[in-house]
């Protein structure tokens, strides 16, 4: 792993402490923080999680930041890896959140797999975007966002967002997103809640 202690100068280039490793498509390096979610932690997000192993891994997020979290203008860099599969027919998805700062936009870039990005505002406007390798998604600061893996491979999405964005999960817990995405023989079906 690349050491973090390398100190670059204007005339002495150093390798970055974090990189996008290929072909694994993971953000790796010593300063990267990994967090993960299992079904047991998010079972209430699904319509029906009865009978499904709560230890089922749903997704992991690898995050890196170079500057101080509290400094306005600094950015997180991250990669979400969302597992394929369903919970009683409902595709694996992220918890989803609003940013506490409605001015804090976020960029997603699809890098592997296929899925959907659910977006909604507190006013009830909603849209769904297709996520695929190369898709670029500009999430406005006031839009809640959730990823859904509708493919058979891990869905990997690279993201950049302000370190001061903050996360509001409670509004999602209370009201959810306007659609749920289920598997069917004909492909993903978006069902209104």
Q: Is the peptide bond before 23 cis (omega within 30 degrees of 0)?
A: yes
State which residue, 19 or 101, has the beta carbon closest to Fe ion: 101
- What is the strand order of the sheet 189-192 is part of? 86-87, 90-91, 179-182, 189-192
Closest residue to Fe ion, based on beta-carbon distance: 106
Q: How far apart are CA 98 and CA 74, in angstroms?
A: 19
Q: Tokens 């400094």, residue?
A: 71
C-beta of 25: minimal distance to Fe ion in Å? 20
* Whether the Cβ atoms of residue 160 and residue 77 lie closer than 8 Å to each other: yes
C-beta of 78: minimal distance to Fe ion in Å? 9
* Whether the Cβ atoms of residue 146 and residue 168 lie closer than 8 Å to each other: no
C-beta of 135: minimal distance to Fe ion in Å? 16
C-beta of 10: minimal distance to Fe ion in Å? 34
State which residue, 41 or 53, has the beta carbon closest to Fe ion: 41
> Which residues contact Fe ion (rule: CB under 5 A)?
106
State which residue, 4 or 100, has the beta carbon closest to Fe ion: 100
State which residue, 106 or 129, has the beta carbon closest to Fe ion: 106
């Amino acid at each position: 792993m690349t050491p973090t202690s390398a100190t670059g100068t204007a005339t002495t280039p150093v390798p970055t402490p974090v990189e996008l490793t290929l072909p694994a498509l993971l953000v790796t390096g010593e300063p990267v923080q990994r967090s993960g979610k299992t079904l047991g932690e998010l079972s209430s997000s699904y319509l029906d999680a009865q009978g499904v192993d709560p230890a089922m891994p749903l997704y992991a997020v690898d995050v890196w930041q170079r500057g101080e979290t509290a400094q306005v203008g600094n950015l997180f860099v991250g990669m979400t890896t969302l597992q394929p599969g369903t919970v009683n027919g409902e595709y694996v998805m992220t918890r989803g959140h609003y940013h506490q700062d409605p001015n804090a936009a976020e960029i997603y870039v699809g890098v592997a797999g296929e899925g959907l990005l659910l977006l909604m505002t507190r006013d009830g406007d909603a849209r769904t975007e297709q996520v695929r390798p190369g898709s670029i998604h500009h999430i406005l600061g006031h839009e809640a966002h959730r990823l859904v893996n509708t493919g058979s491979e891990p869905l990997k999405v690279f993201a950049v967002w302000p370190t001061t964005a903050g996360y509001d999960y409670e509004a999602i817990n209370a009201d959810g997103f306007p659609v749920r995405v289920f598997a069917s023989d004909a492909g993903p079906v978006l069902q209104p809640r």
